[in-house]
Amino acid sequence: MSSIATRTGDEGTTGLLYGQRVPKDHPQIEAVGAFDELNASIGFAKATCPDATLRTELEHIQKDLINLMGELACAEADTARYAGSKFPKLTDKDLARIDAAVVAVEAQNIKFDGWATPGANLHAAALDLARSAARRAERRLVGLPAQGRTVRPVIGRYVNRMSDFLWLLARKAEM
């Protein structure tokens, strides 16, 4: 087995999906890193979740995030190559699943007074950490077009809806 320590990043660069090297503070790397942090935050929320069905949904979101990060880790010049690849990609079906999840939680008539003060319990706090990480990742995502990296509209919609879903779950966990 080869070592995780390749030493190729020792000078402050990292590789994009098809081999192009960019600085570690490149906007795409910042976005991928923000989604990686979100994935870890969702993992924490999943670990604190008492509901098996919800744990499954959180894991599904994590898999969606891995697909999203793969797409974001591709240089603009390689987007057509990526689009034609066998790598899984976020689709309208994934967006519809998140939309349905939002509707299902909203149908439970969750009560909350104004904005939340996180920390009512461990699971709610974990979900709020994930939600705030999602909003940070979303900010990195929407900044990419100004840096010359196109983003498919379904990705932005999915991330926005997923952030809403996490907020709703945190409010539900406070009950």
Specify the pLDDT at position 76. 97
The residues near 163 (Cβ < 8 Å, ≥ 6 apart) are 131, 134, 135, 138
pTM above 0.95, yes or no: no
In the chain (175 residues long), the average pLDDT of successive 10-residue segments reads: 84 93 96 98 98 97 98 97 97 98 95 81 97 98 97 98 97 92
> What domains does the chain contain, in order, with CATH numbers?
21-109+116-174 (1.20.1200.10)
At 172, list the tokens: 């539900």
14 SS3 class:
strand
Specify the pLDDT at position 148. 96
**Residues β-bridged to residue 13:** 23
Q: For 120-135, write each residue's pLDDT tens digit.
A: 999 999 999 999 999 9
